[in-house]
Amino acid sequence: MLSDVCRPPNHGICPISGRNLAHRQTRAHYSRVPDPALVSHVVATTSLTPGEAARVIDDVIAFHAQPVEDYVRSRHAHLKTYGAKNPEIFARIAEELEQRVVAAPGLTERQLRRIVYG
């Protein structure tokens, strides 16, 4: 089992000094302000300010807007960084894709390999 450190990456930061993750950032920047009712709800249920809540909402939307191919590539690179082997990596990625808020289509190990290696 992979350690907890192998959770989805935060902004491409690798906690091991001197290592770079082999993926590009794909966070979209939205020119729209998040739904004011959603911002109000987050402010009311957390200790965040309206500005902080809006930034968190924007970040969550950008994370979930990431294309499946980009997620698979970045996640594979992240898990590989920690020494995981491909069979374990592809099984874990397939499981994670099923659990996303907007689930990706079911992908076989072969399809995942093709995304990563072309």
pLDDT in tens, 21-78: 444 444 444 456 789 999 999 999 999 999 999 999 999 888 888 888 999 999 999 9
Identify whether the C-beta of residue 68 lies closer than 8 Å to the C-beta of residue 86: no
- What are the Cα distances from residue 7, in Å, to 38, 47, 51, 55, 92? 27, 25, 27, 22, 10
Q: Does the global pTM surpass 0.75? A: no
**109 token code pair:** 């190990």
Q: Report which of 25, 28, 22, 31 is spatially closest to residue 10, judged by C-alpha positions.
A: 25
pLDDT band at 82 (very low <50, low <70, confident <90, very high): very high
Q: What is the mean pLDDT of the segment spanning 87-96?
A: 95
Helices (H) and strands (E) in the chain, counts: 5, 0
